[in-house]
Amino acid sequence: MPRFLKILARNLLKGPSTEAFPFKEAFTPPRYRGKVVMNPNLCVGCGICTHVCPGGAIMMKESEDQNGYYFMVWHNTCAFCGSCRHYCPVKAISLSQDWHNAHYQSEKYRMVEHHFVPYLHCSSCGAHIRRLPPALAARIYSHSSVDPATIIRLCPDCRQLATAKREGEVHESSPAPQQP
Amino acid sequence: MNTTQTCEQKSFTLPIGPVHVALEEPMYFRLELDGERVRHVDITSGHVHRGMEALAAKRNFFQNVVLTERVCSLCSNSHPLTYCMAVETLTGIKVPPRAQYLRVMAEEIKRIASNLFNVGIMAHVIGYKSLFMHVMEVRELMQDIKEYIFGNRMDLAANCIGGVKYDMDEELREYADKNLEQVAMHLREIIDIYRHDPMIRARTQGVGVLPVLEAERLGLVGPVARGSGIRLDVRRDAPYAAYADLDFQVITESGGDVHARAMVRLREAGEGIGIVRQILRKLPEGERSAPLQHVPAGEAVARSEAPRGELFYYLRSDGSDVPLRLKWRVPSYMNWEALPVMMKDCAVADVTLIVNSIDPCVSCTER
Amino acid sequence: MSQAPLPNSLKESLAGEIASVLPGEILWNEDAYGNPFGWLVLPVPSRLPEIMKILAGHKARLCTVSAYAEERDDPDKKRGIAYHFVLGRLLFTVTVRLYNPETPEELPVPSITPWFSNADWNEREFREMFDIKITGNPNPRRLFLDERLDAGIMNSLIPFSAMVNSAGSKDLWERLMAEKTGHLSHAGAEQPVSEPSFTPVARAERNEPGPKAREQKD
């Protein structure tokens, strides 16, 4: 017992250990796994996040006019496991420090992260294409002879054509750079 | 053993549970009493059977990493780890060294917190509330580490197939080091109190004794077996992840009683701190996960040492991206059968104390 | 129990003893850390006691028992049981097939509790979850499932989330889209999609109405 009295006295001097929340902001560590956030400027629409999501909390669906796709996370089925963030090849998904999830039942369908990601139009043939972020294009096409800035505006078919054309020109040793 | 008929005055049946016997999980005990002594124990389980193994056969390999982490809260990290090990063995994925060390770190952080929790609850059951609160506050330092490094107080989301999802940097290393030093200091004091305090010793020594032969007959594992002097520890017997490179002791006690099991858990928390500190010092550089591969048809098994003992996973795949069968067996599964042995002729007042001493996990047992 | 024999000598003596009662190959493999695994398949469950005698002689510890079905779509056919044993570092699995081309009926399994008393819970579990017949179990009571439920009932159940049309269902996403974009996303759905409702299985069988409270949920 005397052993513990020493600890008891020390704890008494230390004062309360509990946080004053909600009267004071609670400490949230920087790596806290809170609500999922998506950056539509980086998304390539590969859909790996919907495949790995354990609760089926992520939906990707093409819009009726076929001009782009919707991306939606319902926070109420999200398990905050961070699998979508881990497997996202372009780091478009991150987990915020926001853990404020309490809401009225009537607001449950508004607990979403929602984006519309529009398709681009191929600068050569006009077909719909998914966005390819410049950084990813530079990585994938690092060995290509065509400028990545050109490639991201082309559909896969026109990309092949442009590369073939450019390769042909290189073989004919014509040094003129191709600009669109 | 039917004493009810012979002396009505002294013999009766006492139901305990199913709600909140020691921890907040349901298990129903039907005790046949002779005065204050327990003569027979009957256990009824199944209150939280959730059909998780059936669910696992409807989820793909990625989703099951997270599903298995939700089997249990206290050993939540051991489940996805062992599941991933089974998938990796079947697929032939080699996990990079940095990931091996990070996996062990997550395991040991969970073990320290889990053991402190159980030992704290023991003080609570005894009625030593101030000690209970102190141990829980020390455990809070571990919770802070989990929240700071992994982003959540219980579900670390550390593992993925082929490696880990989290990483360490200098700032996290310093934070963990600082908190662990605190925990180590407190743990020394706590071990001293649990070992010598006359109140704790009076309530726990010689209570709920589990003889070695009974432990072997029932196939017991983990701190329950080690409290009876059986040196069983998967980390040492069949090393996995980075355990073969790390220095630690397999803790055993000889008493076989409630006190011995608590001492095993406390001393193992100390070993856990030692392991995490070694990892913080010599964490190798490199990749955090291996590239993904197709999971072929076939079967594989894996086992690890969860805070409560040996955790086992069996995986059967038909070559699709959803397992055909995923089965797991938690250490608590066998430990329940040890309770009738431990409770034989014990006092009614010791029943909850003995139940707590196997560190039971009902949601793990029933899945 | 503390010091396991060397895996190689153990492997040889195990294989030798098993070969003396049963022709057939034991498959050996190991994981990335060098932990050895042994796999033995028995043609009929009646051979189980002979193998159990050998394993008990080696002081093996029964790790657990896994019942399984070989075909995803037909959980009642082509079933088997895998018995997992620990011998020091070695994890040894004995698999028994319960089906046989000659007999249409599934073969019963003899209890292994005479050699491994912790098999009791495992046997009771696969008996009630898979409705596998077992002979000689000393404690044939229910383990998890209530007595009033049929054995093997879990095979016919569907996940609760699917039943109540929640997580990840089409209906849910349409509601979420409607909330976000102000209209329902597919044509022909002028009325708002109804709140997911269901009647518990048992009540539906008894033709009883569901509780009123369901209708005014929210």
**Structure confidence by residue, pLDDT tens digits, C108-155:** 889 888 988 888 889 888 888 888 888 888 888 878 887 777 777 766
Interface residue A32 vs chain B (CB under 8 A): yes
Give the range of the structural domain holding residue B328, as residue numbers without chain letter.
55-336
Q: Residue B21: what pLDDT? A: 64
Indicate the pLDDT class of residue C166, thresholds 50, 70 and 90: low
Architecture of the structural domain at A28-118: 2-Layer Sandwich (3.30)
Closest-CA residue of chain C to B299: C39
What's the whole-number mean pLDDT along residues A143-166? 77
In a domain, B363, yes or no: no
Backbone φ/ψ region at C57: left (φ over 0), alpha (ψ -120 to 50), beta? alpha
Interatomic CA distance for residues A41 and A91, integer angstroms: 11
Give me the CATH number covering residue B179: 1.10.645.10
Closest-CA residue of chain A to B145: A29
Q: Residue A21: what pLDDT? A: 84
pLDDT above 50: residue B23: yes
In a domain, B13, yes or no: no
* Contacts with C, A 120-159, CB within 8 Å: none
**Contact between chains at B230 and C31 (C-beta distance less than 8 A):** no
What's the whole-number mean pLDDT along residues C21-49? 86
Q: Give the closest of C69, C118, C142 to B337, CB-based.
A: C118
Q: Residue C160: what pLDDT? A: 64
**Contact between chains at A57 and C168 (C-beta distance less than 8 A):** yes
**Contact between chains at B189 and A7 (C-beta distance less than 8 A):** yes
The chains in contact with chain A, meaning 3 or more Cβ pairs closer than 8 Å, are: B, C
Q: Give the closest of B65, B66, B134 to A11, CB-based.
A: B134
In a domain, B88, yes or no: yes
Distance from CA of B201 to the nearest CA of A (A): 12
pLDDT above 60: residue C211: no
Q: What is the pLDDT of residues A78-109, one digit of tens each?
A: 999 999 999 998 889 999 998 888 888 888 88
Nearest to residue C136, comparing CAs of C48, C66, C213?
Answer: C48
Distance from CA of C211 to the nearest CA of A (A): 20
Closest-CA residue of chain B to A55: B63
pLDDT above 80: residue B339: yes
Which amino acid makes up residue C152? G
What are the angstrom distances between the C-alpha of C55 and each of C26, C49, C62? 14, 10, 9
Structure token pair of residue C96: 């028994």
Indicate the pLDDT class of residue C210, thresholds 50, 70 and 90: very low
Q: For residue A104, give every residue at least 6 positions away whose Cβ sits within 8 Å of its Cβ, in sequence order, or none.
A: none
Closest-CA residue of chain A to C161: A55
Q: Which run of H or E residues covers position B94?
A: none
Q: What is the pLDDT of residues A24-83, one digit of tens each?
A: 888 899 999 999 999 888 888 888 999 899 888 898 888 888 888 889 998 988 999 999
In a domain, B364, yes or no: no
C154 compared with B351, residue with greater pLDDT = B351
Interatomic CA distance for residues B141 and B137, integer angstroms: 7
Interatomic CA distance for residues B265 and B258, integer angstroms: 11
Q: Give the closest of A55, A64, A112 to C176, CB-based.
A: A112
Q: Residue A46: what pLDDT? A: 86
Strands (DSSP E) found in chain A = 36-38, 58-62, 68-74, 93-95, 112-118, 120-121, 128-129
Closest-CA residue of chain A to B144: A29
pLDDT above 60: residue C187: no
Mean of the per-residue pLDDT values of chain B: 89
pLDDT above 70: residue B95: yes
* Entry field: residues in chain B: 367
What are the angstrom distances between the C-alpha of B192 and each of B181, B196, B266, B283? 17, 6, 10, 32
Is the CB of residue A53 less than 8 Å from the CB of residue A83?
Answer: yes
Mutate to test the interface with A, among B154, B165, B178 (most CBs of A within 10 A): B165
Residue ranges of alpha helices (H) inside chain A are 2-14, 48-52, 83-87, 134-140, 148-151, 156-171
Structure token pair of residue B229: 């002097």
Q: What is the pLDDT of residues B108-125, one digit of tens each?
A: 999 999 999 999 999 998
Q: What is the pLDDT of residues B163-178, one digit of tens each?
A: 999 999 999 999 999 9
Mutate to test the interface with B, among C2, C81, C126 (most CBs of B within 10 A): C2
Instruction: Indicate the SS3 state at residue A16.
Output: coil
Interface residue A95 vs chain B (CB under 8 A): yes
**Residue at token pair 């550390």:** B158
Q: How many CB atoms lie within 10 A of CB C57?
A: 12
ipTM score? 0.84
In angstroms, what is the C-alpha Rg of chain A? 25
Closest-CA residue of chain A to C169: A56
**Contact between chains at B327 and C68 (C-beta distance less than 8 A):** yes
Distance from CA of C177 to the nearest CA of B (A): 24
Is the CB of residue C197 less than 8 Å from the CB of residue C205?
Answer: no
Structure token pair of residue B87: 């998938």
Q: Which run of H or E residues covers position B280?
A: helix B258-282
**Contact between chains at C68 and B230 (C-beta distance less than 8 A):** no
Instruction: Indicate the SS3 state at residue A65.
Output: coil
Q: How many CB atoms lie within 10 A of CB A32?
A: 19
**Contact between chains at B189 and A51 (C-beta distance less than 8 A):** no
Q: For residue B155, give every residue at least 6 positions away whose Cβ sits within 8 Å of its Cβ, in sequence order, or none.
A: A79, A80, A81, B69, B70, B73, B76
Q: Give the closest of A56, A64, A72 to C176, CB-based.
A: A72
Q: For residue A1, give every residue at least 6 positions away whose Cβ sits within 8 Å of its Cβ, in sequence order, or none.
A: B197, B198, B199
* Entry field: residues in chain C: 218
pLDDT above 50: residue C189: no
pLDDT > 90: percent of chain C:
9
Closest-CA residue of chain C to B239: C33
Interface residue A118 vs chain C (CB under 8 A): no
The chains in contact with chain B, meaning 3 or more Cβ pairs closer than 8 Å, are: A, C
Closest-CA residue of chain C to B52: C159
Number of domains in chain B: 1
**Contact between chains at C180 and A55 (C-beta distance less than 8 A):** no
Query: Which residues of chain A does CATH 3.30.70.3270 include?
Result: 28-118
N-terminal to C-terminal alpha carbon distance within chain C? 59
Interatomic CA distance for residues B84 and A149, integer angstroms: 40
Per DSSP, the residues of C140-187 read -S-SSS-TTSPTTGGGG---HHHHTT-TT-HHHHHHHHHHHHSS-SST
Q: Residue C92: what pLDDT? A: 92
**Contact between chains at B137 and A11 (C-beta distance less than 8 A):** yes
Indicate the pLDDT class of residue B51, thresholds 50, 70 and 90: confident
Task: Give the count of Cβ contacts less than 8 A between chain B and C.
Answer: 102
**Contact between chains at A29 and B140 (C-beta distance less than 8 A):** no
In a domain, B160, yes or no: yes
Mutate to test the interface with A, among B62, B179, B197 (most CBs of A within 10 A): B62
